[in-house]
A and B are shown apart, each in its own frame.
Chain A
Amino acid sequence: MMIDEKKLWSRRKRGYWEMAIKYLKLIGNSGFLFTIYLLFVFGSYYYGQFLEWLPQTFPTTLFFTVIFTWLITRGRVRTFAKPGDLFFLTPCEGKLKNYFRSALRYSWMMETMWIALVMLVLSPLFFDRIHPSGSLVFSIIFLLSGLKLWNLAAGFEEQRLQEKNRYILHTFIRLGLTGVSVFALFSLQSVWFILGLALALILFYAGYFYRLSKLHSLKWERLVEIEDSTVMTFYRVANSFTDVPALKSKVRPRHLLSPLYRFVSYKKEHVYRYLFSRAFVRSSDYFGIYMRLTLLAILFLSVVQIDWGRWLLVVLFSYMTALQIETLKHHYATSKMVDLYPVSEGYKLKSHQFWILVLGSIQSLVFSVGLLIMYSPMDGLFGLGLTLIVYVYHSFIRLPKRYMV
């Protein structure tokens, strides 16, 4: 039986995206989109100010060259290769041309998207310092995308090299050539110069890299390694918003936080307090998210100069934190042992409320001390009050409703 390479490709791509979309949805629901939105609003407000502040001597061309040289040289063709391929696909390696062509096309598309995104974000800087023409930005995106294609194609052939140091040497050669080309683009060289450069690159590929594909076999282990590291990067990013079972984030003892356990004395009513305290401190990322949201809030508070903007931030961030602590409710949902304990469910809600209030009080103190230092005692008092109101609302009004469902 022959392997249908087209089907194999589309099945693997679909498999990956089904998994990825599930995580993207979770990330979207985690308040992340909202943070991005906030960042966008404040970012666009401060962008103009930042550009004015940026000294005229700032090496803009060099800055763009470094950023895009890195963006274009990094990253390789994603093949969705799996460890099993070492066994099952190696026999028909020669027949997989179309599979790898699809892989190249796919990676090119994705990478072009990233390049365009970064270019658009940086475009105000480009207009301000390099050239005020919009169509020029689009031509540059187009040419950068072409350069990316060259890099991906050459990079794919170079993975065939067995020796690690030759492989790395080739990557450095690509880095140099890409750097020169990107610099030529951002220093606005003449069209003829750019065309000549493009021709030279194409000839170099045809005369050298293409020959590598004739001389050397595919290095499957390396393909799997490349695929693995790509997926892992995605998992790690996703893991900061939600639980990724594949990462099965290790339990961290976090001994420094053990004073929190003193809130749990030996008592039958405290069974859920006990469970929640350990879950919050040690497992997955409840504590990490709590810290991140608190620090992020302080960061935002330090830049926003409008009074009501700060009140809004305090309320939003404390509410987002409360929503994260709310998910503790499900932490033991699949544990059969908890179901067997002769302990009334009512204690569960009470313990959950207890922790939300304790953690909320700690956060309100952090907020108010921060505001007090950065602004005024009045601000500190307002921050304290607002945060406490949010947590009292959440634990006494919202949470009981969650438990009714």
Chain B
Amino acid sequence: MGQLLTVNKLTGGYQRSRPVLHDISFSVNSHEIVGLIGLNGAGKSTTIKHILGLMEPHGGEVRLSGKTWAEGKDDYRRGLAYIPEMPLLYEEMTLWEHLELTAMAYGLEETVFKGRADELLKEFRMGKMVKWFPSHFSKGMRQKVMIMCALLIHPSLYVADEPFVGLDPIGIKSFLDRMVEMKRNGCGILMSTHILATAEKYCDRFVLLHNGQVLLQGTLKELQAQANMHGADLDEIYVEMTKEDQ
């Protein structure tokens, strides 16, 4: 279980004078799903942006397979796939073109791409829509396109920001099944979500963010111990821990 992603004493935000994240440290290993949990405004999305290399840290560092973004951005980016909270699609491209472009950008062989694409289209039941433009897609279908693009490229790390929003139950199940499979193959997955029951079922460890700081982290058992709430589920711990400073 090598450390895939290490976030080390990360301080960051949009303005140097007003950092949003304070001294955040956690890691994601291969063969592991880590849940990133926190209230709205806790700093989840900012943390993710730092991991993606879209923002530069004020202090501390983010390493993917031992390298920071600045040390080699193309290598860094090839190692991860991002599933955003709001589907980011190109309005002027068809579903198939989204897949093809993604495959091209990540340097997949054309035959490999076609094989994987057909499989994904079947699994997510989007085979009939390959020539459709995003304006004809529902929110859930748009999300599926993002998920398929991410699954296509077989990265070592997946970063998923609220991936379930708008997905139908079958879509959620396909996504989670795939995540479990990827984990078995050696990937690491960082998933931010508000759906705690699902998180509790699928995540191996949790990082609980609050006001830009890591409040608790570890397996469910460890969280229970740290919060002194033995036998409590994730929901209860979450509510209890975030209640305090009111």
Contact = CB atoms under 8 A, between A and B. Distances in A.
B176 interface: no
Contact of B90 (A275, A281, A341): A275
Contact of B110 (A266, A279, A340, A342): A266
Interface string A14-56: 0000000000000000000000000000000000000000000
Interface in B86-109: 88, 90-93, 97, 100-101, 104-107
B29 to A, nearest CB: 22
A278 B88 contact: no
B236 interface: no
Interface stretch (B77-85, B122-130, B201-209): B77-85
Nearest to A253: B133
Interface string A322-366: 000000000010011101111110000000000000000000000
A251 interface: yes
Which of A271, A282, A336, A340 lies at the interface centre, i.e. has the most chain B CB atoms within 10 A of its CB?
A340
Contacts of A335: 88, 90
A275 B101 contact: yes
A336 B89 CA distance: 10
Interface residues of A toward B: which range? 20 to 34
Contacts of B240: none
A271 B104 contact: yes
Contacts of B74: 342-344
A268 interface: yes
A250 interface: yes
B75 interface: yes
A236 interface: no
A281 B52 CA distance: 31
B226 interface: no
A82 interface: no
B135 A251 contact: yes
Contacts of B101: 271, 274-275
Q: How large is the interface on B (under 10, 10 to 19, 20 to 34, 35 or more residues)?
A: 20 to 34
B180 to A, nearest CB: 24
Contact of A278 (B92, B104, B106): B92
A164 interface: no
Given A250-B135, A253-B133, A278-B93, A343 B105 contact: yes
A141 to B, nearest CB: 47
A283 interface: yes
Contacts of B93: 278, 282
Contacts of A343: 74, 105
A251 B82 contact: no
Nearest to B52: A340
B57 to A, nearest CB: 17
B97 A336 contact: no
A337 B75 contact: no
Interface string A186-227: 000000000000000000000000000000000000000000
A265 to B, nearest CB: 9
Contacts of B135: 250-251
Nearest to A339: B54
Contact of B84 (A253, A266, A278, A336): A336
A267 interface: yes
A336 B54 contact: yes
Interface in A247-276: 250-251, 253, 266-268, 270-271, 274-275
11 contacts: A266-B110, A267-B104, A268-B107, A271-B105, A275-B101, A278-B93, A278-B97, A336-B84, A337-B90, A342-B74, A342-B76
Interface of A: 250-251, 253, 266-268, 270-271, 274-275, 278-279, 281-283, 332, 335-337, 339-344
